[in-house]
């Protein structure tokens, strides 16, 4: 009997542990990116997107990429949420993940959405995935180190609860801030037109490198076993907000371009 209880306890614990390890911006982060993007869409783009998404908002569609993770039919997207390549190697020279990565994923989405010969169903699916992946791209640790799974293996505590540095950046800091995605979207820095344009400039690869450079800073900010709380949030939440804002602006830029 004791053995059975122990087995059940271990099973429950491992399910719990895997839940708490989910490697993505939490829902609030993704929705914030979608919400900010929707403020920067051209009129025609907004119409085309409303048509494809059947009126669903970008914020709402942004979490679809994670919602389908438990559905085997969508397994091929599993590795498209991140890209890890050595910090001292160019992406083009690096060994590519066999099942694809975030960069290839974003490029595929753009290609499929753009081509009106594709079925509406497919274009809608890849549009929802694109909205999600541009969010992921702006979580620095989604352009992290492969050997620690983008920081998932760097265990820390967050206000006395078990976590890891990846999760701190995905969701712990955002959740702790206790703002809804609309509140967050309305509380990012106010930008002039030229500041917004500057953020939207550059190529996908420029944005990847920017995230990777931030990820180096994140790795330097922490070591295994650190007890993180107020001080860490105070120091880094500004970067989180900035990344959500950049994600939103750049998602809008891509959508404005591909819906032309």
Chain residues that interact with Zn ion, rule: CB under 5 A: 23-24, 81, 136, 170
Q: Which stretch binds ligand ADE (CB under 6 A): 5-13, 38-46, 115-123, 136-144?
A: 136-144
Partner that binds at residue 170, options Zn ion, ligand ADE, none, CB closer than 5 to 8 Å by kind: Zn ion
Nearer to ligand ADE, 100 or 146 (CB): 146
Half-sphere exposure of 54 (CA within 13 A, CB side): 7
The CB density around residue 17, as the number of other CB atoms within 10 Å, is: 10
Residue choice 109, 141, 255, 258 for contact with ligand ADE (CB under 6 A): 141
Partner that binds at residue 149, options Zn ion, ligand ADE, none, CB closer than 5 to 8 Å by kind: ligand ADE
- C-alpha–C-alpha distance, residues 62 and 23, integer Å: 15
Residues binding ligand ADE: number (CB under 6 A)? 10
Q: What is the nearest approach in angstroms of ligand ADE to the Cβ of residue 152?
A: 6
The DSSP symbol for 116 reads T
Question: Is residue 80 helix, strand or coil?
Answer: helix
Q: Who's near 5: CB < 8 A, 6+ residues apart?
A: none
Nearer to Zn ion, 45 or 215 (CB): 215
Residue 65 lies near ligand ADE (rule: CB under 6 A):
no
Residue choice 82, 133, 181, 219 for contact with ligand ADE (CB under 6 A): 82
Residue 150 lies near ligand ADE (rule: CB under 6 A):
yes
Residue 84 lies near ligand ADE (rule: CB under 6 A):
yes
122-156 exposure pattern, b = at least 16 Cβ within 10 A, e = fewer: ebbbbbbbbbbbbbbbbbbbbbbbeebbbbbebeb
Of 144, 137, 145, which is closest to residue 109 (Cα–Cα)? 137
Residue facing ligand ADE at closest CB distance: 150
- C-alpha–C-alpha distance, residues 127 and 137, integer Å: 15
Cα angle 130, 135, 140; round to 5: 130
Q: What is the nearest approach in angstroms of ligand ADE to the Cβ of residue 150?
A: 2
Name the residues that contact ligand ADE, by CB under 6 A: 23, 82, 84, 141-142, 144, 146, 149-150, 152
């Amino acid at each position: 009997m004791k053995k059975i209880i122990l087995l059940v306890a271990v099973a429950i614990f491992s399910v719990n542990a895997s839940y708490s390890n989910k490697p993505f911006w939490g829902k609030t982060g993704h929705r914030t990116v979608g919400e900010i993007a929707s403020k920067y869409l051209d009129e025609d783009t907004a119409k085309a997107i409303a048509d494809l998404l059947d009126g669903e908002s970008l914020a709402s569609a942004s979490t679809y990429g994670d919602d389908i993770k438990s559905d085997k039919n969508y397994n091929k997207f599993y590795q498209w949420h991140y890209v890890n390549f050595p910090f001292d190697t160019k992406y083009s020279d690096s060994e590519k993940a066999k099942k694809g990565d975030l960069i290839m994923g974003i490029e595929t989405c753009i290609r499929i959405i753009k081509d009106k010969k594709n079925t509406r169903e497919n274009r809608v699916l890849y549009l929802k995935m694109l909205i999600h992946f541009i969010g992921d791209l702006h979580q620095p640790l989604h352009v992290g180190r492969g050997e620690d799974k983008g920081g998932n293996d760097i265990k820390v505590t967050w206000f006395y609860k078990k976590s890891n540095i990846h999760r701190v950046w995905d969701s712990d800091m955002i959740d702790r801030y206790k703002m809804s995605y609309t509140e967050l979207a309305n509380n990012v820095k106010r930008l002039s037109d030229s500041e917004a344009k500057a953020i939207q400039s550059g190529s996908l690869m420029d944005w990847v490198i920017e995230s990777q450079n931030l990820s180096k800073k994140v790795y330097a900010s922490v070591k295994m076993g650190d007890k993180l709380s107020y001080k860490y949030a105070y120091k880094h939440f500004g970067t989180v907000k900035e990344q959500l804002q950049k994600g939103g602006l750049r998602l809008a830029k891509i959508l404005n371009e591909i819906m032309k």
